[in-house]
Structure 1
Amino acid sequence: MKTKKLLFSIAVALLILSSCDDVEFGDKFLEKEPSVDVTKDTIFSSVEFATRYLTRGYTTLPYGLNLDWGAKDDKLGMDILESLSDLNQSYLSWGGPNQLYYSGQYAAASENTSNSTKYHYTKENSWVGIRIGWNFIENADKIPAPDEATKNLVKRMKAEAKMIIALHYTDMYRHFGGLPWVDRTYSPADETTLPRLTSLETMNKIVALIEEAEPDLPWVYANTLNDDGRFTRASALGLKARLLLFGASPLFNSGTPYMDGEAAAKKLVWHGSEDPNLWKRAADAAKELMDQGYYGLVSTGNFRKDFQDAYYKRGTKEMLISTRQRYRSGGYWTANYYFYQSAGGYGTGCPTKEYVDMFPMKDGTPINDPNSGYNPNMNPWENRDPRLYETVLVNGDYYQGRTAQLWIGGLERTTLAANGSKTGFGLRKFLLERDAATSMPSIVHWPYLRMAEIYLTYAEAINEFNGSPTPEAYAAVDIVRNRVGLGDLPKGLSKEAFREAVLTERACEFGWEEVRWFDLIRHKKANLFQRALHGVNTTKNANGTYSYETVELQARHWKNTWSPKWYLSAFPPNEVNKGYGLVQNPGW
């Protein structure tokens, strides 16, 4: 038997079960770390106890906003993933983007000690969630089920446990590529050498797990008061579509690896060849969900409010996967909802001009179209896509009962150096109007996956598979555009032009929802990592008009030293060196 070095790694030590398991019963169950005061037999002695244990699994799911200084919730050192994309520039001096990425100080060794990397292999609670999921699946049949209704409930909860596992694996897959596949719980006597699977094997394993769960999940829950936020069949189909789109994209689905190395030679970070049928698999998964008839977009005709409700509000027909860490957010200075401080004033919510320029005019015409009516020197933020105003705080928009003042010396940009609006823009998404009337406190969640993404996934995938956009691809994009009053996408686009239009649409729709980073890496957009980013200095003139100066923002290290190694994260060298089969990603 091989040496069981894996048993001593943080990652899989979390999967090993002892005579006790970590769950705490009582009113504080979801509010603090569980203890180890009950046995496994107790957990599965009743539906109530087992449900609480499964709920603990839900709390391990990713939450995109920084919350507190714990290893999982201290995202990027209290920063956000968008700060590594072209949408946002961070000025949080102690955050991961500035400390590690912009400065060029990030190295594989950073994963050994830092909580400020974009995704840590052993600190995200992913392995905790996977352990809870398999433990539930293996022991669920012990739950007393005296009637058919209870048996069906247990069956459904086992499917939920599979989805917890699948979601964690999907997130890790997008950061690392092929992964060690854990398919059960482990005891100290078990052989635990678990090498990485290939990227294609890993994707197919996750898909198979999702497809196992899917038929045992309901489309909707009758008791939304107690069950809103649990996985549905729509959650399963949506997660599968997201996963398959990533796996079909050029990062993995290519005739050559993005970078040579041992991991590439073993096909851990690419599929070994290009397979157009992977795009078809992604399109089919999205289409199945689109055709089911219940889920769709929030669309009442109030464009701004509809878009805000689509990402911010729980329980809509647009929300496919909603993750939660608390019910209400608390106030601005709430210690365990730090996002308000970091984005509101410390500098993690500073959109770039490149991002603002992606938003078209309110009829859908791009601002670079000579017939758009856009004038960069006169009210450039007027008459734009309603999503701009609900994502970015721009000068002149309504705000806290007045108009926002993003000119230098204004209330939202008191000085040129004010970190909260240093690019000339502020963040509105998730912050709303930064007051008690809108967001502080409010009922919160993380919109991990929305139906809007499914329409755009279908459009992208069918365009790539077909070699050009089909009428159905245009229609899917137009559903998303029309919801906020934009006109249809112009017809007659090439495959490449349609792809770029969809990626722009995804950026406008999903800013600050952790979509852009993955779009950049899966399409290997090295040119966007290497381009200069800009802000705007707005000056209020004596006559009440405004002048606008475009300024280049501080360059990031990779602008002039780009390497494709950045597409995937490094594994902690401490884990690689334990010898259980973990091969480091190329370049690290």
Structure 2
Amino acid sequence: MKKIYSLALIIILTGCSKALEEDPQGLIVGSAGLSSQAGLESALTGAYGSLMVPWESGFTTVSQIAMCMGADDLTTHPGSNKEEFREFDRFNVSSLNSRMVPIWRGCYKTIQSTTNIINNYNAVLDGNETTIHTIVGEAYFLRALCYFWLTRFWGDVPVIPTEKYTADLLNLKKSTPAVVYQLIEADLAKAEEWVPNGKRDPGRPNKGAVKALLAEVYLTEGGWPLKDVSKYALAAAKAKEVIDNKATYKFDLYQDGYLKIFAGGTVEDVFTLFTRGQWSTYNSFYGLSTMPENEGGWSDFFPEINFFNNFPAGTRKDATFSTQFVVKGDTIAWQNVTTKHPYYKKFTIQTGQKDTYMSNNPVIMLRYAAVLLTYAEAQARATGTPNEAAYAAVDAVRVRAGLAKLPTGLSGADFATAVVNERAWELAGEWSRWFDLVRLEKVEEANASKHADDLTISGPITKQKYWLPIPGADAAVNPNL
């Protein structure tokens, strides 16, 4: 295994002939096989698949949760075998930490496949032009999504210009976030043009999903490190397009039980990775990862105590957290489990056997509640005064949560702060809080006053610690990394 991922970028760019012989679907390298619509579709299938290989590449393991533990909504076991998890929470991440490898590798594998499609689709000799444009539009979307995750976690990252390996790529230099975001914006503009209003299937984007991701990108660019405040108006406008056309895109807040959102397949799904419960594609951060040892779980992640205590009481809090556990027939409170913490109910398997490391629960990458909150925050920051639509957006989320509407007459700054807090509660544990704290330069503040039963940071938090080290094996291959 180490030999494979220590040469991750080489393998991504060159492919593996044995793998190609044994399982060619989705692993087409270069322009070979892309002269037909079927070849494009196969390559796109591979691009999606690279985001869903358990413990190997993509988002179906606990990796992205571990990597966001510098926020105040996530922490891990103070002992046990969780040292790599603790590194993220304590801001002393080693370049050899294997928990970040699946995100790095999965994103670059998908970038290879989508770049292959984007660079070679003009060679297709058959097929329907509209369908081909849809395939390529989805490829642009996936490539933008991957670069977005990469630059938010690592800052300066290499931009891969070609799907074909040359020796020069072993000396490829990193690009700054400003450059990476230009590529992301350009890719999403093309995706918005070609991806249709309707999803080809539930696990693919539609035009509304493209707009929603672009709104999130603009919101992020408004904060650190770019601090381009002109992007807030763009974020608000793009999110509003999604809101105004939610019927066309079949998006809305799901109202029939908060926990059902996380089983996927509701109107709240904007973009979701659907797993199949098989060894090659399943979700492994549901189940044992989110259960205490008292129930036979692994205690990989759970909320920090102050975050839990500050979370507004109501139906959403009751659905978000598990606070009681049945152990040998007895019910015990969270204060009496081994870690002395509550756990995330939203990531506990609600049907069937819950003490399993494998489930077919989907990974919800972006949901409609986030679009509403992105619009509300961006509108207030762009204009300095929240309008009626911004209040309506955040209040829709609050009312569903069983909370009162926000008081009217708030300043733009106070309103934006209220929305950021709402994002923390609504998207708790969904790897959003970390990115919000980074863009708003509030990582230090969020870690300044820890509960006595939570992990403490290893030393002063600097902006350099907002970003992760490039995985050491890849940095060893290319000194410019």
TM-score (norm 2): 0.84
CA RMSD of aligned residues (A): 3.7
Q: 2:338 aligns with which of 418, 439, 449?
A: 418
Q: Once the 2 structures are TM-superposed, how far is the Cα of residue 57 of structure 1 from its aligned partner?
A: 0.5
- 2:416 counterpart SS class: helix
Q: Superposition pairs for residues 269-418 of structure 1, below 5 Å?
A: 275-294=228-247, 295-300=250-255, 302=256, 305=257, 307-314=258-265, 316-324=266-274, 326-328=275-277, 337=284, 339-344=286-291, 345-360=297-312, 384-395=313-324, 410-412=330-332, 416-418=336-338
Contact 2:303 2:343 in 1 (8 A): yes
Question: Match for 2:348: what amino acid?
Answer: L
Partner of 2:75: 89
Counterpart CA distance in 2 for 1:139 and 1:277 is 35
Question: Match for 2:302: what amino acid?
Answer: C
Q: 2:455 aligns with which of 543, 552, 555?
A: 555
Counterpart CA distance in 1 for 2:50 and 2:381 is 35
The C-alpha deviation readout for 1:207-241, integer Å capped at 9, x for no partner, is 011101211111113x6xxx221121112111111
Q: 2:120 aligns with which of 126, 129, 139?
A: 139
User: Measured at CA, do residues 162 and 282 of structure 1 come closer, stay the same or move farther in structure 2, by a change above 3 Å?
Assistant: same
- 1:286 counterpart SS class: helix
Q: Superposition pairs for residues 126-275 of structure 1, below 5 Å?
A: 126-145=107-126, 150-188=128-166, 193-221=171-199, 227-249=201-223, 251-254=224-227, 275=228
User: Measured at CA, do residues 511 and 190 of structure 1 come closer, stay the same or move farther in structure 2, by a change above 3 Å?
Assistant: same
User: Measured at CA, do residues 474 and 95 of structure 1 come closer, stay the same or move farther in structure 2, by a change above 3 Å?
Assistant: same
Q: Superposition pairs for residues 486-505 of structure 1, below 5 Å?
A: 486-505=403-422
Contact 2:30 2:163 in 1 (8 A): no
Counterpart CA distance in 2 for 1:392 and 1:468 is 34
Counterpart CA distance in 1 for 2:178 and 2:49 is 29
User: Measured at CA, do residues 410 and 98 of structure 1 come closer, stay the same or move farther in structure 2, by a change above 3 Å?
Assistant: farther
Contact 1:318 1:451 in 2 (8 A): yes
The C-alpha deviation readout for 1:122-158, integer Å capped at 9, x for no partner, is 8432111111111122333444425xxx221112111
Q: Percent same amino acid among aligned pairs? A: 23
User: Measured at CA, do residues 235 and 23 of structure 1 come closer, stay the same or move farther in structure 2, by a change above 3 Å?
Assistant: farther
Contact 2:319 2:346 in 1 (8 A): yes
User: Measured at CA, do residues 191 and 182 of structure 1 come closer, stay the same or move farther in structure 2, by a change above 3 Å?
Assistant: closer
The C-alpha deviation readout for 1:512-553, integer Å capped at 9, x for no partner, is 2111111111111111112112xxxxxxxxxxxxxxxxxx21
Q: 2:425 aligns with which of 504, 508, 520?
A: 508
Counterpart CA distance in 2 for 1:414 and 1:498 is 33
The C-alpha deviation readout for 1:252-279, integer Å capped at 9, x for no partner, is 144xxxxxxxxxxxxxxxxxxxx42121
User: Measured at CA, do residues 169 and 47 of structure 1 come closer, stay the same or move farther in structure 2, by a change above 3 Å?
Assistant: same
User: Measured at CA, do residues 142 and 87 of structure 1 come closer, stay the same or move farther in structure 2, by a change above 3 Å?
Assistant: same
Question: Match for 1:323: what amino acid?
Answer: L
Partner of 1:14: 12
User: Measured at CA, do residues 79 and 470 of structure 1 come closer, stay the same or move farther in structure 2, by a change above 3 Å?
Assistant: closer
User: Measured at CA, do residues 95 and 143 of structure 1 come closer, stay the same or move farther in structure 2, by a change above 3 Å?
Assistant: farther
The C-alpha deviation readout for 1:171-190, integer Å capped at 9, x for no partner, is 00111224332233234366
Counterpart CA distance in 1 for 2:299 and 2:427 is 20
User: Measured at CA, do residues 134 and 418 of structure 1 come closer, stay the same or move farther in structure 2, by a change above 3 Å?
Assistant: same
Contact 1:297 1:310 in 2 (8 A): no
Q: Which has the larger radius of gyration?
A: 1
Partner of 2:448: 530
User: Measured at CA, do residues 21 and 137 of structure 1 come closer, stay the same or move farther in structure 2, by a change above 3 Å?
Assistant: farther
User: Measured at CA, do residues 474 and 74 of structure 1 come closer, stay the same or move farther in structure 2, by a change above 3 Å?
Assistant: closer
Counterpart CA distance in 2 for 1:169 and 1:573 is 19
Task: Give the number of the structure whose residues are more often helix, by fraction.
Answer: 2
Contact 1:298 1:318 in 2 (8 A): yes
TM-score (norm 1): 0.70
* Aligned: 1:429 with 2:346: yes
User: Measured at CA, do residues 142 and 25 of structure 1 come closer, stay the same or move farther in structure 2, by a change above 3 Å?
Assistant: farther
Q: How many residue pairs get matched? A: 466
Counterpart CA distance in 2 for 1:509 and 1:23 is 46
Counterpart CA distance in 1 for 2:161 and 2:36 is 25
User: Measured at CA, do residues 145 and 514 of structure 1 come closer, stay the same or move farther in structure 2, by a change above 3 Å?
Assistant: same
Q: Once the 2 structures are TM-superposed, how far is the Cα of residue 495 of structure 1 from its aligned partner?
A: 3.0
Contact 1:359 1:508 in 2 (8 A): yes
Question: Match for 2:118: what amino acid?
Answer: I
* Aligned: 1:462 with 2:379: yes
Counterpart CA distance in 1 for 2:156 and 2:64 is 28
Partner of 2:3: none
Q: Once the 2 structures are TM-superposed, how far is the Cα of residue 503 of structure 1 from its aligned partner?
A: 1.5
Question: Match for 1:57: what amino acid?
Answer: A
Deviates more, 1:194-203 or 1:69-78: 69-78
Unaligned runs of 5+ in 2: 1-5, 292-296
Partner of 2:46: 56
The C-alpha deviation readout for 1:68-105, integer Å capped at 9, x for no partner, is 5436579567963454321233116222555524566x
Question: Match for 1:248: what amino acid?
Answer: G
- 1:448 counterpart SS class: strand
